[in-house]
Chains A and B, each alone.
Chain A
Amino acid sequence: MNPESMSIFSPQLAARFDALVQKYPVKRSALIPMLLYAQDEIGYLSDAVIAEVANRIGITELEVRNVATYYSMLRFKPAGKYNIQVCTNISCMLRGAYEVFERFQEELGIGEKGTTPDGVFSLEEVECIGACCWAPAIQINYEFHDELSPDHVPGILSGYRGKARAEGSH
């Protein structure tokens, strides 16, 4: 396969990958960032993503899977457009993270690793995200929201629903 003619990625991402494989002393060092950026664009690591990344780095698909399965941010199934990650580790737990997590479940009607039927939100409990002094904290995709209480949840959700609608109408 010629990656240039057959790429499943956008031209911008393909260009980024071309730069990434040049960036490190060893090509394979580009693997983890490539998987993350591919997931950001495609939504998850599909078979096609894995095949093309393997091809671009020059390693086998098995080697890519072997690495990808190690890292908790990489996923093999689609998530919601906005993936809500609630940290419940100690500093967040002490300040009410489980109450925040439960409120998200109630508002969305989904549980751990669930996705809403419209595909807008998914929810997961995650380990420490490095926002302990501003606990409880969550990440929605890569965006941090900190010093939360359960009452912040509806407002946060309506904000992202609005964003999803605005993007959907274009």
Chain B
Amino acid sequence: MPRLVSHPDEVKIISRRFGMGAEKIDRYVELGGYEAAKKCLAQGPEWIIAEMKTSGLRGRGGAGFPTGMKWSFVPKQSAKPKYVLVNGDESEPGTCKDHLIFLHDPHAVIEGTIIAGLAIGAKVGFIYLRGEYRYLIEIVEKAVADAYERGFLGKNIFGSDTEFEVITQTGAGAYEVGEESALMESLEGKRGVPRIKPPFPAVVGLYGGPTVINNAETIASVPHIIDMGGAAYCGVGSPRNGGTRLFGLSGHVERPGVYELPMGYNLKKMIYEVGGGVRGGRKLKAVVPGGSSTPVLLPEEIENLGMDFDQVGKAGSMLGSGGVVVIDDQTCIVEFALRTISFYQHESCGWCIPCREGTDWLKKSLTRFHAGFGAASDIDNIQYLAENMLGRTFCPLGDAAAMPTIGFVKKFRKEFEDHLNGKPCPFAKHGAPQLTVV
């Protein structure tokens, strides 16, 4: 069972019901649940979208797009049904926040889905969970059934004449399906390959209908925003970055866990105070700030770094999914880079060539390097290859593979050079990662 952690600096908004039994509908209602949906039903779509815009909430999946604006893009009139789609295909290495939301507060996701549906005029919402989260799917399905029984979902939600249905869906193992258009393909019972854009999902999405697709954490934030008011939520965060975020501290940190901290919270403080510092009193070597696809940062780069979309972007990386991976000074960066690219090579859907071939060759080059057979020119070749993947793929998976690789090679060039000429890796405690090439 995932352990819950806490720290005095936390501002518990999304996580305020964690560990309180809120997966049971009675308890959720007792803790103020479903009041936000009722309020939204009374206030109407324009009010909801205005409130969301005021909140400054930006997409928690990683792209950081303003949620209120995304909702406002959905056409009011549509010949085809409109849909809300909740992305719970959490698969970015370093990220396990949605795991806790589904486990402890599934009704917040359902309530957020209802509110998103009211905002865009959809009658159906889908909650898609990755297949590995089977026990969480069962929790969410029970919560959905309970909400139907209470009349919170169905033909007449909360006794009104408004209809809203929620349907759950499971994946079956594919990182790529976390990409919004690939997720729609998967939900339609197809291979999870991305669609060409435009048209964007807000215009042509699931089953060809206008669709709003949001990350599970984004959706779970919505009822809290309505409860506390958009302005109050916004005030918690930093400029242009409203609210709080579930940051996942993992790797070589003394107290790993998911902590809810205000947007803009200092990264150094997050590691040393919230996380208790580097494990075993070792020195910090590097930190991956927002899931494995975000470029690595050096200790000197995190001194005054506030964790919000804009500040991390300015520092040359990305806030991504908020998964902070702490790396100590005993870690081999070549090995870490190889394990990272092995993942993207495995998960590339193969649909477009720069990603399919690029990830494969990056893995091959890094494997050779790791085994001690690298050539000096490989370092530049790896960087050249990765840079040529950027922006040349249908979906962001190509960038997600290239960006961290460029970061490792640029920032740890010396360490790559130290692996040349058959020199043994100074850090590796075991052989090359054994992932089979499929």
Query: Given known contacts A67-B189, A72-B174, A130-B90, is B131 in contact with A112 (CB within 8 Å)?
Result: no
CA distance A30 to B188 in the complex (A): 8
Task: Name the contact of B96 in the complex, choosing from A31, A132, A143 (C-beta under 8 A).
Answer: A132
CA distance A91 to B256 in the complex (A): 10
> Is A61 engaged at the interface, CB distance under 8 Å to the other chain?
no
Residues of A13-51 at the interface with B, using a CB-CB cut-off of 8 Å, are 23-26, 28-33, 35-36
CA distance A141 to B1 in the complex (A): 15
Name the residue of chain B whose CB is nearest to the CB of A40: B134
The bracket for how many chain A residues form the interface is 35 or more
Question: Is A130 a contact of B250 with CB atoms below 8 Å?
Answer: no
- Nearest Cβ in chain B — how far from A125, in angstroms? 6
- Render A71-114 as a binary contact track against B, CB cut-off 8 A, 1 for contact: 11110000000000000111101110011011000000000110
CA distance A22 to B328 in the complex (A): 52
Question: Is A89 a contact of B2 with CB atoms below 8 Å?
Answer: no
> Is B252 engaged at the interface, CB distance under 8 Å to the other chain?
yes
Query: Given known contacts A71-B174, A74-B173, A112-B436, is B250 in contact with A91 (CB within 8 Å)?
Result: yes
Return chain B residues, CB-CB under 8 Å to A148: none
> Is B94 engaged at the interface, CB distance under 8 Å to the other chain?
yes
CA distance A146 to B95 in the complex (A): 15
Question: Is A36 a contact of B131 with CB atoms below 8 Å?
Answer: yes
Return chain B residues, CB-CB under 8 Å to A146: 1-3
Question: Is A130 a contact of B131 with CB atoms below 8 Å?
Answer: no
> Is A157 engaged at the interface, CB distance under 8 Å to the other chain?
no
Return chain A residues, CB-CB under 8 Å to B325: 90-91, 94, 132
CA distance A67 to B250 in the complex (A): 34
Question: Is A132 a contact of B248 with CB atoms below 8 Å?
Answer: yes
> Is A66 engaged at the interface, CB distance under 8 Å to the other chain?
yes
Question: Is B93 a contact of A91 with CB atoms below 8 Å?
Answer: yes
> Is B167 engaged at the interface, CB distance under 8 Å to the other chain?
yes
CA distance A143 to B135 in the complex (A): 8
Name the residue of chain A whose CB is nearest to the CB of B328: A94
Residues of A99-139 at the interface with B, using a CB-CB cut-off of 8 Å, are 99, 101-102, 112-113, 125, 127-135, 139
Return chain A residues, CB-CB under 8 Å to B326: 94
Return chain A residues, CB-CB under 8 Å to B336: 90, 93
- Render B329-341 as a binary contact track against A, CB cut-off 8 A, 1 for contact: 0010000100110
Question: Is B343 a contact of A89 with CB atoms below 8 Å?
Answer: yes
> Is B54 engaged at the interface, CB distance under 8 Å to the other chain?
no
> Is B175 engaged at the interface, CB distance under 8 Å to the other chain?
yes
CA distance A142 to B133 in the complex (A): 7
> Is B172 engaged at the interface, CB distance under 8 Å to the other chain?
yes
Question: Is A29 a contact of B187 with CB atoms below 8 Å?
Answer: yes
Return chain A residues, CB-CB under 8 Å to B256: 132-135
CA distance A134 to B95 in the complex (A): 11
Residues of B305-329 at the interface with A, using a CB-CB cut-off of 8 Å, are 323, 325-328
Question: Is A133 a contact of B257 with CB atoms below 8 Å?
Answer: yes
Return chain A residues, CB-CB under 8 Å to B328: 94
Task: Name the contact of A133 in the complex, choosing from B92, B248, B327 (C-beta under 8 A).
Answer: B248
> Is B132 engaged at the interface, CB distance under 8 Å to the other chain?
yes
Name the residue of chain B whose CB is nearest to the CB of A129: B132
Query: Given known contacts A32-B172, A71-B173, A134-B2, is B94 in contact with A90 (CB within 8 Å)?
Result: yes
| Subset of 8 A-B contacts with CB under 8 Å | A26-B207, A33-B170, A36-B170, A95-B251, A129-B132, A130-B133, A131-B2, A134-B256
Q: 9 additional contacts, CB 8 Å, given A66-B191, A128-B292?
A: A23-B167, A32-B131, A71-B131, A71-B172, A71-B174, A72-B172, A131-B99, A133-B248, A134-B2
CB-based closest 10 A-B pairs: A73-B173, A31-B189, A71-B172, A72-B173, A28-B189, A142-B134, A91-B250, A70-B191, A128-B93, A132-B250
